[in-house]
Amino acid sequence: MLEAVGLVQAKVVVREDECKGCGLCIAACPENVLFEQKHLNRLGYHPAGYTGSGCTGCGTCFYQCPEPGAIAVYKKGYVGEEVA
Amino acid sequence: MAEKRLSKADSFYKVYERTPSAIKDVTHYCPGCGHGVLSKLIAEAIDDFGIRERTIFMSPVGCSVFGYYYFRTGNIQCAHGRAPAAATGIKRAYPESIVISYQGDGDLAAIGGNEIIQAANRGENITVFFVNNAIYGMTGGQLAPTTLIGQKTTTSPFGRNPANEGYPIRVSEMIATLEAPVYVERVMLGDAKNTNKVRRAVRKGLSNQIDNKGFSLIEVLSVCPSGWKMTPVQAKQWMNDFMLKQFPLGVYRDRSEEIPVRESQRHVFSVDGIRDKLELPKSGEQTMQVEKPAAEFMNPRLKLAGFGGQGILMLGLMLAEAGMRAGYHVSWIPSYGPEMRGGTANCHVNLSERRIGSPVVSKPTVLVALNQPSLDKFESEVAPGGLIIYDTALVPNPPKRKDVKVLGLPATTIADELGNTRIANMVVLGAYVGYSRILPKEVVFSALPALIKRKNLLPLNELAVEKGMEFVTRMGS
Ligand SMILES: Cc1ncc(C[n+]2csc(CCOP(=O)(O)OP(=O)(O)O)c2C)c(N)n1
Ligand code: SF4
Ligand code: SF4
Ligand code: SF4
Ligand SMILES: [Mg+2]
């Protein structure tokens, strides 16, 4: 849950369980803030991860990702629940 | 503030209960597959337009066969290539519904090539998403109609050779030559900019349908990393470098602006219009009053059989026509022998107080056999307690069944005596209605002019019917 004041920073959340490690989000992120993680997830893929800062909330990764629930992007000023 | 959050669309199920897989929150698509991305764009648009409750997603055969696992909409999984035909039916029956025909290149451009052309040409008010990944993904990477020249697939191991496999088909260009389609665009699930164009095209295709403007087809170039044997990132590059040349992006037809927003239209057939065509009284007006026959003759299922040329089909039509005038539900279907003339012909007729489920008569309650082969062939089918009528003049070996009623009459001889052998069918008609009392003479007579074009033959036909009726009256006395 996020506090109701809204996000000061945009952010991206990868739901690792649903990520197939295709790398399309990583290749497309204009800010280069996504990377391939070392560990394997339950599906046997190296999931994508967020470096933790620098996401602008542009949404590119969301629209590159084939998995409905693997990525969520929260834009600056977002108020509400975290879903992914 | 949903616009400030990009996350899984509501038009997807949260949990994919329908998948047999133990893992119920990821799709079956390979890593990087374009189908997943397009699905997301469609689901997002369904959310945003608020049309989930009335959307019906038609899945094809191909990797996207399991659309119904994921889309929280109405779903139909169609026979290979037939989604546009099924979509046509759904849309016409439920014009308020939003019907999405989602198809791959094998599905749409190979086995379903004709379906899509006809649906587009009719201008069906549906939205078609055509995923062109230049391959049959599902079956392991065979050549598709859209496979590029030189592209290696399992069935073109040396690369597609136009001399052998022809050229890649440009579906958008082809469909755009037709008059009816409203909107045809080719887009590509490539970089962010191109993907955004796909997003816009998806929305435009759907809003055209919402506004009842007509047929939209969006061709989406899409990667198949598994079929192409590449990593997802390489696949995107390859699509950009090679597919684009063969399949230029762009709008191939767009009449969205010139067509006004319309109300949805049900294809209405006026019942009275049809009754009028059939020369029947308007609905509500009285059909001819007929007395019901004895219970054993009610709701007959008839099979009528003989040589082609004996007027078997006409006999069936006559019964159906007269039955209709008496207010019965009726059906008539012909079944031709390999050669119409000289061969055997038969037809199936139902007269029923209830609606008729199937016009096919497999267990007739009445068999009319005007020659020996017909009797031999169908005698065993007759329901116990049923009736077999046969022409004693042409059937030397009478029926053997002991559990049915049998009515033999020399129909052809009687017809000959009337001066026209070909009128034997009407003699049989008279005998049947006289015997069963299913229809009174006046109703039968009222039906004759509808089917007998040469009016000077009407008296002869009436006479033949009367002779048949007389025969059974004499028989009974
Ligand atoms: C009547 C019939 N013929 C052939 C097949 C085999 N078959 C299954 S999917 C497919 C083609 C799939 O290719 P495409 O439509 O391009 O879909 P993709 O998997 O690439 O998305 C074929 C030929 C079938 N299932 N049914
Ligand atoms: S939203 Fe944009 S900046 Fe943020 S991770 Fe995704 S692609 Fe990168
Ligand atoms: S695009 Fe989606 S599935 Fe692919 S690596 Fe990124 S989050 Fe994972
Ligand atoms: S085979 Fe190709 S089209 Fe099918 S799921 Fe895999 S990547 Fe997608
Ligand atoms: Mg394909």
Atom of ligand 3 at shortest range from CA of A65: 1
Contact B8 A62 (CB under 8 A): no
H/E stretch holding B119 reads helix B113-122
Contact A69 B232 (CB under 8 A): no
Q: Is B63 exposed, middle or buried (0-12, 13-18, 19+ CB in 10 A)?
A: buried
- Do B164 and B150 contact (CB within 8 A), yes or no? no
Query: What is the Cα–Cα distance from B54 to B97, expressed in whole angstroms?
Result: 5
CB of residue B35 inside a 6 A radius of ligand 4: yes
- Count of H-run helices and E-run strands, chain B: 18, 14
- Angle at B476 (CA atoms; ends B475, B477), nearest 5 degrees: 95
DSSP secondary structure code for residue A22 in this structure: -
Residue B181 scores a pLDDT above 90: yes
The predicted structure's pLDDT at residue B343 = 65
pLDDT tens for B247-301 read 999 999 999 999 999 988 777 778 888 888 877 777 777 667 788 899 999 999 9
DSSP secondary structure code for residue B3 in this structure: G
Using the CB atoms, write b or e for A26-53: b if 16+ within 10 Å: bbbbebebbeebeeebeeebbbbbbeee
pLDDT tens for B387-431 read 999 999 999 999 999 999 999 999 999 999 999 999 999 999 999
Ligand 1 pocket, mutate which of B139, B147, B153, B226 (most atoms under 8 A from CB): B139
Give the DSSP per-residue string, B222-239.
---HHHHTS-HHHHHHHI
Atom of ligand 4 at shortest range from CA of B131: 3
Span from the CA of A62 to the centroid of ligand 2 (angstroms): 8
Strands (E), A6-68: 11-14, 34-36, 48-50
Residue B115: CATH number of its domain:
3.40.50.970
Residue B441 scores a pLDDT above 60: yes
The verdict on B114 and B165 lying in the same domain is yes
Structure-token pair, residue B420: 């026209």
> Which value does ipTM take for this structure?
0.95
Structure-token pair, residue B130: 């055509």
Residue of B246, B233, B241 lying closest to B186 (CA atoms): B246
Which chain B residues touch A69 with a CB distance below 8 Å?
Answer: 7-8, 12, 25-26
Query: What is the Cα–Cα distance from B439 to B325, expressed in whole angstroms?
Result: 10
Q: Where are the domains of chain A?
A: 11-74
The verdict on B165 and B243 lying in the same domain is yes
The predicted structure's pLDDT at residue B265 = 77
- Structural domain boundaries enclosing B354: 295-476
The predicted structure's pLDDT at residue B1 = 40
Antiparallel, parallel or unpaired: β B98-104 and B55-59: parallel
The predicted structure's pLDDT at residue B60 = 98
Which chain A residues touch B40 with a CB distance below 8 Å?
Answer: 63, 65-66, 68
Q: Which of B254, B282, B313 is the last residue of a domain?
A: B254
CB of residue B225 inside a 6 A radius of ligand 4: yes
* pLDDT (average), residues B18-24: 95
Residue B337 scores a pLDDT above 70: no
B352: β partners: B329
Residue B414 covered by a domain:
yes
The verdict on B331 and B427 lying in the same domain is yes
Residue B307: CATH number of its domain:
3.40.920.10
The verdict on B242 and B355 lying in the same domain is no
CB-nearest to B5 from A42, A64, A72 is A72
* pLDDT (average), residues B85-93: 96
Which chain A residues touch B37 with a CB distance below 8 Å?
Answer: 63-66
The predicted structure's pLDDT at residue B342 = 56
How many domains, chain B? Answer: 2
- Banded model confidence at residue B3, pLDDT cuts 50, 70, 90: confident
Q: Which residue's CA is the nearest one to ligand 1's atom 26? A: B80
The verdict on B301 and B246 lying in the same domain is no
CB-nearest to A22 from B5, B31, B39 is B31
The verdict on B41 and B93 lying in the same domain is yes
Contact B1 A78 (CB under 8 A): yes
pLDDT tens for B136-159 read 999 999 999 999 999 999 999 999
- How many residues comprise chain A? 84
The verdict on B248 and B304 lying in the same domain is no
* pLDDT (average), residues B100-118: 98
* pLDDT (average), residues A42-50: 96
Considering only alpha carbons, which residue of chain B is nearest residue A46? B31
* pLDDT (average), residues B21-26: 95
Does the CA dihedral B183-B187-B189-B194 come out positive or negative?
negative
Residue B23 covered by a domain:
no
Ligand closest to Cα of B139 equals: 1
Q: What percent of chain B has pLDDT over 70?
A: 97
pLDDT tens for B194-252 read 999 999 999 999 999 999 999 999 999 999 999 999 999 999 999 999 999 999 999 99
Q: Which residue's CA is the nearest one to ligand 3's atom 1? A: A65
Residue type, B355: R
Q: Which residue's CA is the nearest one to ligand 4's atom 6? A: B30
Q: What is the CATH code of the structural domain delimited by A11-74?
A: 3.30.70.20
The verdict on B391 and B469 lying in the same domain is yes
The verdict on B200 and B52 lying in the same domain is yes
Residue B262 covered by a domain:
no
Q: What is the mean pLDDT of chain B?
A: 94
